[in-house]
Structures are given as C-alpha cells and as structure tokens.
Amino acid sequence: MGNRLVEPKNIRSTYTSTKLQKKFAICLLFFLLTTTAGATEYIVSPCPSDQAGASINGEEVVLLEDTVIPYWQFLLWLALMQISSMLDLLFPAKLIFAILGYRVVEHSNALGNRKRKDIYAFIKDRPGAYIGEIANQMKLNRGTLRHHIKILEAENMIEAQCYHRKVRYFQNNSTYDEKEKRVISAFQNEMTRKILLNILKEECNTNMDLARTIGISRSTISWHMKQLKELDIIEENKEGKSMIYSINPVYRDTIEKTYVKFFE
C-alpha cells in the first residue's frame, strides 16, 4: 500500500471561453481603433468632373491611400494576447492551442496546491474513501474538500463511483477495474469485511452462524448480505430452512488479493 506509482504527465486542454471573450474584445477594439479614420464635419456635393481627384474651386487636392490592416495581423495580435497570459508555452503544439482559445493544464499544475496534493495522496493510498472519511481523517472542511475533489476530477486524476448511495473516490488512469472497485468499496465497512472473510475461509456460511461468530444480530447480517448481493459479490442457495452464503467465484481471487494488499 505504501508503494507509489509514477504518474504519467498527461495533458488536458480546457476551453477558457470567458477569458477568450475578454481578450477578443480587446483585440477587436484595437483593430477598430487602428482602422477608423478621424472624422469631422463634411459637406458632400456632386463632383462636376468625372476625373478622380479633380479640384472644384481651385483648392489643392491630395489623394490619400487607404490603409487596411490585414486579417493575419489581427490573428497575430490575438495570439500575442494569449501568449502574454501563458508564459509557460514552450512548444509549437501548445501555441496552436493558445491561438484557438485553449489553455494547457498539466497534472503537475493540478497538484501545485499542497492541500490538494495531500488529498490526492490520501485517495491513492486509501482507494474507495468517501467525503466524510477523508474530511475526518485529514481534518478538512467539507466545502474545501469538495472544491479540491472537483478539480482532481476535472483533471481526470481521480474518479467517483457510487455504491449504496455513497460516493467513493479512486485513483484514475484505469488503476482499478470494476471488480476491484466493488470489492474495495465492500471492504471499507469493517463488519462487511468480517462477513466476507468468514465466508471466504468457509468457517461459517449461514445467517445464524455468522451472527453468532461475529457477535451481531441476524437482521444486521441480513442487511449486509443484501448490500453484498447487490454488488454481485455474494451468492445464496437455500438448503432446507437455511440460506447458505458463498463467494461469487468471479470475485474470489479479487477478494483475496485486495484483502492482502490493503487490509491485512
């Protein structure tokens, strides 16, 4: 459980529409200011001659050249605005994202916050943890915790799974398959863990035997069994008046490995 894997430095692009709109507005204003001529009052009258630039009353006529800023220059200014707010752009691929209105986010940036880094480490070491458990163990305000959890989810560093109306968090990047996540979630409850281990070792496999061995009521055993059956971890077969419980063969290896790895 203490071993840590080296995280791949995945890159994820998030669209920053609000910032882009502000920068676009600034660039557009600059574009309009540089292409708009100063205006005063003019009196327009028909020209008596078809010759362009001909004088009407002998005044001096000066022909002005139209100045038009090319469209590429506007795009260049847009790119410069993006680059100014993204000083870490070192690669051409990232520059393309900047021009298109994207910002580059790396996992190293997501873990730049010390508290968020500790939360990620906690979830990595204790897969299947839920909000209440993380908040109590790390002594964090739940609002603050949810804020950091959302960022880690958005960066695809952790994933959430809901089991029995409780949302549990796991390290992402396909670290655990569906069977492992189900077994880990079941093992988080100490009483459920005892039930599974007793059935796994074939020491007892009926409601009455489990209740007597573990020291809880038969109704409590029935409640835990219901949860385990919904997860498809436990199978039951009726023999006479007794209900015999057994581990689903599909999960047996996963249960043994998970217990040794995280709970032994």
Please list the ranges in the chain whose pLDDT falls under 50: 1-18, 36-40, 42, 87-89, 93, 97-98, 102-105
Strand partners, 105: 12
pLDDT tens digits, one per residue of 80-90? 766 665 544 45
pLDDT tens digits, one per residue of 166-177? 889 998 877 888
Strands (E), 26-106: 102-106
**What residues contact 172, with CB distance under 8 A and at least 6 apart?**
156, 157, 158, 159
Strands (E), the chain: 11-15, 102-106, 129-130, 158-163, 166-171, 234-239, 242-247
Which residue in 128, 124, 120, 162 sits closest to 145, CA to CA? 120
Query: Which pLDDT belongs to residue 261?
Result: 80
Domains and CATH numbers, the chain: 7-32+70-104 (no CATH), 111-171 (1.10.10.10), 182-263 (1.10.10.10)
CA distance 226 to 178: 19
Determine which helix (DSSP H) or strand (DSSP E) holds 98, and give its type and residue range: helix 92-99
Amino acid (1-letter code) at residue 127: P
- Tell me the backbone φ, ψ of residue 90, rounded to 5 degrees: -115, -15
Q: Output b/e per residue, 221-238; b: 16+ Cβ within 10 A.
A: beebbebbeebebbbeee
Query: Which pLDDT belongs to residue 240?
Result: 80
- Do 142 and 153 touch, CB atoms closer than 8 A? no
Strand partners, 170: 159
Neighbours of 202 (CB within 10 A): 9
Strand partners, 74: none
